[in-house]
Amino acid sequence: MTLQRLFDHPDFMAIYKPIGVGMHSESGELGLQLLAEQQFGLKLWMVHRLDKVTSGVLLFAKHAEAAAQLSNLFSEQSIQKTYLALSQSKPKRKQGRIKGDMAAARNGSYKLLKTQSNPAITDFFSLSIELGLRLFVCRPKTGKTHQIRVALKSEGAAILGDQRYGQPSDRTYLHAWRIAFQYQKEAFQIEAAPLEGEWFNKNTFIDKLKQLENGNYWPEHWLKNQN
């Protein structure tokens, strides 16, 4: 497997995480961190994670000091993360905020609760791509396990291909599209379109993504809070 480097900085690098690769080594398969270290020939520090079924932009630090600074940015919610997801179900709402505590359920799954002790928070809006297919643009404000997958299921729109929370397909259609942050007073925005999946390669999706990249369709309340 050859990993794609998206951005390189003296203190960190961003790669494209493909689907089907875990962050840690398991069952004889190398995790993404070790694969990246072997390919790029340097020691890397993990500062955030993506689910095995999720593709997209992933940051690694190149030394311990950068790892501490970037980890702090993530923990302080100072790094803006934007995800793309597809669903074949119509949501209860076209846009809004999903907020609630998450609790472990059966067989490694999670569920969203009505309580607000330490809630997962996800802002989203959605757009129709074609009949029976909807695009969700999500910004998680917190970093809980399976957060977006559980949040969209709670809206009645489980992610296409999510075998844990939705219906099977060729992949789980959740992609970490963009991250934006300030590091040592310099602004960075790193973005990567999804590469894998027949539905992500449909012209209707590609056209909609281009319109998003050009600034169309973004709700006013999101545009006011770009940082």
Q: What is the pLDDT along the chain (227 residues), one digit of tens a residue?
A: 899 999 999 999 999 999 999 998 888 888 999 999 999 999 999 999 999 999 999 999 999 999 999 999 999 999 999 999 999 999 999 999 999 999 999 888 999 999 999 999 999 999 999 999 999 999 999 989 999 999 999 999 999 999 999 888 999 999 999 999 999 999 999 999 999 999 999 999 999 999 999 999 999 878 666 54
Among 11, 51, 101, 123, the active-site one is 51
Neighbours of 217 (CB within 10 A): 13
Sequence-ordered strand ranges (E) for 93-163: 95-100, 102-104, 110-112, 120-130, 133-140
- What lies within 8 Å, CB to CB, of 66 at 6+ separation is 11, 12, 45
Q: What's the first-to-final CA gap in the chain, in angstroms?
A: 35
CATH architecture of 4-204: 2-Layer Sandwich (3.30)
Tokens for 88? 């074949």
Taking the C-alpha atoms of residue 44 and residue 64, their distance in angstroms, rounded to an integer, is 9
* H helix runs in the chain, sequence order: 32-40, 64-75, 147-154, 203-213, 220-223
Tokens for 66? 């950068």
59: part of which helix (H) or strand (E)? strand 55-61
- What lies within 8 Å, CB to CB, of 82 at 6+ separation is 137, 138, 139, 176, 177, 178, 179, 180
Strands 110-112 and 4-8: unpaired
Among this protein's residues, is 51 annotated catalytic?
A: yes
Q: Give domain limits for the chain.
A: 4-204
Taking the C-alpha atoms of residue 116 and residue 120, their distance in angstroms, rounded to an integer, is 9
Tokens for 169? 């397909």
Look at residues 39, 206, 58 and name the one whose alpha carbon lies nearest to residue 133.
206
